[in-house]
Structure 1
């Protein structure tokens, strides 16, 4: 899980997203994100903007988590709604 491929995702443009963006884009809750982090399914880094903290998540891991939890059709439907 902590391969060099994953490490490069932290630096790749569009490779990460905030917890707030993940909630909006994928329709998951903060509790689901925290549970996935605790279970080791999502990596995160803490960051802040103007003193407001947030979690940075790897987009591909969030997509895999959503696929696993809700199925492949969920992401397709969610993207078509936008």
Structure 2
């Protein structure tokens, strides 16, 4: 079985936030303070969650947006 967030579809929305933002992907470099937006389905509704990067790192299967050692949930945008 893959990582718990493997089912999440990650993309950048067409609107902007005040913080820099982009989608999560393996092999990407992240700096503390960057924002990651995650789009997923919950109860047949599309939801967008924002996560704030806490420490600079290169993304891999162990440090996705649901890992609290690397990311802080900032709430739902939709």
Q: In proportion to residue count, which structure has more strand?
A: 2
Q: In proportion to residue count, which structure has more helix?
A: 1
| Length-normalised TM-score, structure 2 | 0.28
| Length-normalised TM-score, structure 1 | 0.27
